[in-house]
Chain A
């Protein structure tokens, strides 16, 4: 028979192992809720899952129109549409995951105040739903690459660790913002603006090379910079990603994720009282 020891809220910082074991016990819930997210996301929309394809494509068309045709942004020799799309794919994943996950706790108040389950499951389900959209967007990307005659190379496999890094970073940000949102609903209001700023602070519409050398170190502390530029290296040029930006992104994420998780678990202990 399993023995459970419920400890004071203040000790939640200390039991990382316990938290992970408990999360594993709830894999079934994670599974069911994630499928649920995906299945209800496009329910009641007439285009259904087609939206997962349309969203990034429309963004690409708009960005190409505004930033390439009008603003004449450099794109390191690649077709601008593809240049934008390779960045929009990871960026959309990041921004929608963070936006959904930030609200995930407050939109499930009725569950949080009545039933226990590891609360991180809520933001994680939005992350998983994001992976589903990402996968669809990726097939569109393959189509675009064929259209623009950009060859696929074996470097593609390098994309897997980069996507894992993207997911880990998105999760770190989501966990922290979701908790802050419980206490200060201001975050939810400010988030669209914040994400917009963040996008301009990442190499989405312009290449990393367009940046002055002196800004680089500070700029790269934003893991999205390393992640997006790595995607472009791999997909557009078919080369191994530049190690410097990628390493920055990795170090920041590896430090951030455990801290974010423990911060979340500490807040979780009394979340039901505040929400």
Chain B
């Protein structure tokens, strides 16, 4: 059975340029263009795509916040959106009163709210303050309470928008559990997240949106991979524009590549896997005491990692004229899943003078491997430390 059906749905936004004469100088923008798809009953569908690809618009259309410009959407069953609605609270009312208020705003019947009241309060973790006006609440409590109400909606179709952005880690885990619970109960789900790992983990199917159109739909792993490639190509040009070319011409970096352990070139790797990076350099005259570096940038341009040919304490390293190739090896690469731009420099140690700065649009995609939590992965092991057990070592693979 089909729970959600989009038939040639388009949504146009008009961007007003002039406040006083809104009729004039309007710019059109199609957030969704001629979109058709079905979602089966009980299916969990993840929506991915860069900002402005039309994901949020799809959820807005589904939840009827705004109407399509053309096409029709058919829904079978009750739809609810799992969003944080604390902003629907009234500061003068108590937490309990606000549960009723925001519950009915979300479309719950009073009786339904009364029945679930205890569970909602428990989920939110604000039991002690529930009879206090919410104006005394901390912002975290406020958000948690608002979200808890939404998490207890009874729905056949559930929309989930960036649920992981809400609350602290413990609360996020509770939200995850709740989503799993609803999923097992046969709720049809559509969700958006920038977290590709959870998209891949939770979805039965992933749809990739680009510029308002559906470009791919299918098996989560394959579609996430396709998305990473799509991001890599746009990403590379983004960062390239920001980096200015420079150099004195004595040495020039011509290429940076990544290799598998056995030697084949790769464009993606997994967290915790070994990584080899090759840097090709053309040297025209001798450089005393040089440093070669490979940079790994995040999308916002921060340097997340840098590999150096010489540690600060190492001896001098000279570059003799000719075509040289440097290899950086790493036993266990610590970057978390994501897309990283690659840059490389040759410079004189001590002096600030950069001899060459390479940016050739290099990108490294990192996929989930040994670690998915935290900011980075560091190699580690574990063993039983109590006396009764043999001191057997285990690699800590996740």
Contact = CB atoms under 8 A, between A and B. Distances in A.
Interface residues of A, number: 35
Interface stretch (B74-82, B236-244, B272-280): B74-82
Interface string B343-365: 00000000000000000000000
Most A CB atoms within 10 A — which of B100, B104, B110?
A: B104
B93 interface: yes
B67 A270 contact: yes
Contacts of A111: 87-88, 105
Interface stretch (A24-32, A53-61, A80-88, A216-224): A24-32
Contacts of A8: 67-72
Interface stretch (A93-101, A114-122, A143-151, A234-242): A114-122
Contacts of B101: 32-33, 36
B60 interface: yes
B69 A1 contact: no
Nearest to A111: B88
A9 interface: yes
Interface in B62-120: 62-79, 81, 83, 85, 87-88, 90, 92-93, 100-101, 104-110
Nearest to A29: B104
A269 interface: yes
B61 interface: yes
A21 B81 CA distance: 21
Contacts of A272: 60, 65-66
A269 B67 contact: yes
B72 A4 contact: no
A9 B67 contact: yes
B67 A26 contact: no
Interface in B284-326: none
A40 B68 contact: no
Interface in A1-57: 1-10, 12, 26, 28-29, 31-33, 36, 40, 43-44
Contacts, number: 103
B367 interface: no
Interface string B256-278: 00000000000000000000000
Interface in A257-275: 269-273
B200 interface: no
Nearest to B100: A32
A272 to B, nearest CB: 5
Interface in B19-65: 22, 60-65
Contact of A26 (B62, B73, B83, B107): B107
A109 B117 CA distance: 27
Contact of A1 (B68, B73, B76): B76
B210 interface: no
Most A CB atoms within 10 A — which of B61, B74, B79, B105?
A: B105
Contacts of B87: 110-111, 114
Contacts of A10: 69
A226 B71 CA distance: 45
A6 B92 contact: no
Most A CB atoms within 10 A — which of B63, B67, B81?
A: B67
B65 A4 contact: no
B75 A4 contact: yes
Given A4-B75, A32-B100, A273 B66 contact: yes
A113 interface: yes
A72 interface: no
B177 to A, nearest CB: 24
B110 A115 contact: no
A5 B73 contact: yes
A40 B62 CA distance: 33
A6 B64 contact: yes
A183 interface: yes
Contacts of B70: 8
B13 interface: yes
Contacts of B83: 114-115
A118 B67 CA distance: 13
A22 to B, nearest CB: 10
A221 B68 CA distance: 38
A26 B110 CA distance: 11
B67 A7 contact: yes
Contact of B69 (A2, A9, A183): A9
Contacts of A12: 67
A40 B88 contact: no
Given A28-B104, A28-B110, A1 B77 contact: yes
A187 B156 CA distance: 41
A40 B75 contact: no
B63 to A, nearest CB: 5
B123 to A, nearest CB: 19
Given A1-B76, A110-B87, A111-B87, 15 more contacts: A1-B156, A5-B74, A6-B61, A8-B70, A8-B71, A26-B107, A28-B110, A29-B105, A32-B101, A32-B110, A40-B93, A114-B88, A115-B65, A270-B66, A271-B66
